[in-house]
Amino acid sequence: MPDSAAPLHEQTRVFRAEQPLALESGESLANVTLAYRTWGRLNAAADNVVLICHALTGSADADSWWPGLIGEGGALDPTRDFIVCSNVLAGCYGSAGPYTRIDDDTGRRYGLRFPKISVRDMVAAQRLLLESLGVRRMSLVLGPSLGGMQTLEWAAMYPEWVQAIAPIGTSARHSAWCIGISEAQRAAIATDPNWQEGRYGDDRRPEQGLAAARMMAMVSYRSFENFEQRFAREMQDDATFSIQSYLRYKGQKLVDRFDAASYYRLTQAMDTHDVGRGREGTETTLQRIQCPALVVSVASDVLYPPAEQRFIAKHLPQATFRELASEHGHDGFLIDTDELATMLKHFRTGGLAPLSSCAV
């Protein structure tokens, strides 16, 4: 059983929407739930909110997976900010998704019967949560990778809500490179005999397929330099390469805490990402986002290379571009958090402090 079956963090709360959520696909999703955590207090004007959007396999526990960013005197300060982080729609840490949604007739988890969603659906669900908390406007929306996609969509969908954004290690539209990597991971999951077209039970989960998918992902999350420096051609006592042992460990670690169908649906959602889709094109949509933006890349990122963040910064009218000088690859934003925190703190207190909303 993945750890997501265990009780959530004691400070986690669960929002339950009163009305069904209309999805981009045309379907309607009833009984939407979002697990979330908060730090600090909402001020009288209800506008001191910082929304953290997490990456693919993240949770509402931002203080755990993003250490060093939340704290008194820090980039995100609970003595000043009301910080919110929710598990995304289709996640498996308390929010409605393939793992948490149970079929009342069969008692089985939904699996791939849970509908396809988009990044915009995730944001629409988050808005319902924030409205229930009495939020009127957010001083900052930020997030890495999938979280960065949500960040851009917040500014495009609800500009009147957002005063500033910080998309990190992400793209304005999912590239063929990323879609291909995600498809290969889904194929690995689907080849597991226990997959059963996404209708498996808790007793026979597609663990080997999910582990293989995670191993593929880890290669794209790090860099050539990082693997060479850390592993090179070092051998273990069992005559396997150290890098093999590392990837197997990472694969099993995800199996112990995540669900294959949730992973499948979330990667599909990421593939739909394009801020210009159904609008006036990617460049024009970015140009219409008028709020201050800190766009951060990781120098060694091969999954979302710096050119993609430079594209975002080029077309956002009030963007500042910064690059983490990290050799860790895409995951650098989770590792070099001290440098990232300094960037965010300077952004929030410097010349590009959030002063206006994103509305045109």
Q: Are 97 and 114 in contact (CB under 8 A)?
A: yes
Active site residue 330: yes
Any idea which residue has 């939020």 for tokens?
Answer: 135
- Alpha carbons 208 and 324: distance in angstroms, whole number: 34
* CA distance linking residue 158 with residue 150, whole number of Å: 11
Catalytic residue among 4, 59, 145, 326: 145
Return the closest-CA partner of residue 21 out of 82, 85, 80, 101.
Answer: 101
Give catalytic status of residue 271 as yes or no.
no
- For residues 83 and 80, what is the distance between their CA atoms, to the nearest angstrom? 9
Exactly one of 86, 326, 330, 331 is catalytic; which is it?
Answer: 330
Nearest CA to 313 out of 295, 297, 287 is that of 295
Catalytic-residue membership of 3: no
Residue where the block lists tokens 């009127």: 136
Helix/strand/coil for 138: strand
> Of the listed 301, 315, 331, 357, which one is catalytic?
301
* Residue 65, burial from CB neighbour count under 10 angstroms (0-12, 13-18, 19+): middle
CA of residue 250 relative to chain centroid, distance: 19
Polymer length in residues for the chain: 360
Amino acid at 190: A
3-state secondary structure of 233: coil
Active site residues: 145, 301, 330
